[in-house]
């Protein structure tokens, strides 16, 4: 189903101006590389990009203090670092990362709230993904040989893994709604993203990011990527339509006035806690 998103405010992040340029993504990569010196499980930006898209699409707004510890294993602001987890080098690095993060967040949220009819639309969400297999294929033979036998990720696979990591980290927020049509919509959209977490085992036919690059991706994979982008739009629209979950309020049954009091005194309720 192609969504018709509404142009409504969506971000739990503070407003930030300006599109990220190549050097901004390079700076994000450098910060993540530096974090990785203290915590080797710090993800690459492409994983963060997918994670971000899922958090933006989540059923309820989340603040950075909730999701950054999940993504980067860093402490929430004001908390002591975990010796076995990640950590920023200091307040300045954390602030710089969040400045760039929030700018990208607002770009993604704006794109997902725009009315677009084509993936070629400049206003459409375009994930920041890499074509690792294509980059290796374009290397000189002697450099390419260093990657022989390595299991390189398929196009947009890391992005999809980041998206699903966020989904799996907050399962209550991604539970199927009671409405059957909405539940079917949710399942279909998630399956489109899950399909991108799988390998592209077909023969490479095209270069997804360059017209004259070495073939690295099957056409089926490229089509599946397009379906995954529309799926993200579907998920954004679905949760915006349904709104945050409403918690069920459970009211304890009040004893009858002639029943024994719940406190265990042995008296009737009307003579004990029900008196007055």
How far apart are the C-alpha atoms of 186 and 242, rounded to whole Å? 12
Q: Which two tokens stand for residue 216?
A: 């690295």
What are 260's strand-pairing partners? 268
Cα-Cα-Cα-Cα torsion 67, 73, 78, 82, nearest 10 degrees, comes to: 150
pLDDT in tens, 184-221: 999 999 999 999 999 999 999 999 998 888 999 999 99
- CA 206 to each of CA 101, 133, 218, 219: distance values in angstroms, whole numbers, following the listed order: 31, 11, 6, 7
Alpha helices in 149-218 (DSSP H): 157-169, 180-196
How far apart are the C-alpha atoms of 59 and 66, rounded to whole Å? 14
pLDDT in tens, 42-93: 999 999 999 999 999 999 999 999 999 999 999 998 888 888 899 999 999 9
| SS3 call for 121 | coil
Average pLDDT, the chain: 87
Could you give the maximum distance between any two Cα atoms of the chain, in Å? 91
Helix (H) or strand (E) holding 99: helix 91-112
What are 268's strand-pairing partners? 260
Choice between 202 and 274, residue whose per-residue pLDDT is larger: 202
- At 4 the pLDDT is 37
- At 275 the pLDDT is 62
Give the pTM.
Answer: 0.82
Nearest to 239 by CA among 12, 2, 5: 5
| SS3 call for 213 | coil
Q: Judge whether residue 239 has pLDDT over 50.
A: yes
How far apart are the C-alpha atoms of 165 and 162, rounded to whole Å? 5
The 10 Å CB-count burial string (b at 16+, else e) for 139-164 is: eeeeeeeeeeeeeebbbbbbbbbbbb
Average pLDDT over residues 86-101: 96
């Amino acid at each position: 189903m192609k969504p018709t998103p509404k142009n409504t405010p969506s971000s739990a992040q503070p407003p930030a101006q300006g599109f990220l340029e190549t050097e901004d993504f390079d700076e994000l990569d450098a910060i993540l590389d530096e974090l990785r010196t203290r915590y080797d499980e710090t993800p690459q930006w492409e994983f963060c990009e997918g994670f971000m898209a899922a958090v933006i699409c989540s059923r309820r707004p989340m603040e950075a203090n909730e999701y950054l510890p999940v993504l980067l294993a860093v402490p929430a602001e004001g908390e002591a670092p975990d010796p076995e987890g990640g950590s920023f080098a200091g307040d300045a690095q954390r602030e710089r990362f969040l400045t760039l993060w929030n700018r990208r967040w607002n770009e993604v949220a704006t794109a997902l709230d725009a009315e677009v009819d084509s993936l070629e639309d400049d206003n459409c969400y375009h994930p920041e993904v890499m074509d690792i297999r294509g980059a290796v294929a374009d290397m000189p033979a002697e450099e390419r040989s260093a990657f022989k036998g390595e299991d390189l990720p398929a196009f947009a696979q890391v992005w999809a893994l980041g998206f699903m990591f966020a989904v799996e980290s907050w399962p209550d927020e991604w539970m199927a709604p009671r409405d059957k049509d909405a539940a079917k919509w949710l399942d279909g959209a998630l399956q489109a993203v899950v399909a991108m977490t799988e390998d592209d085992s077909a023969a490479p036919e095209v270069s997804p990011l360059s017209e004259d690059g070495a073939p690295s991706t099957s056409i089926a994979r490229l089509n599946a990527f397009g379906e995954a982008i529309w799926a993200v739009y579907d998920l954004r629209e679905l949760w915006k339509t349904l709104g945050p979950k409403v918690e069920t309020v459970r009211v304890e049954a009040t004893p009858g006035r002639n029943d024994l009091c719940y406190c265990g005194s042995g008296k009737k309720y009307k003579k004990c806690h029900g008196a007055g």
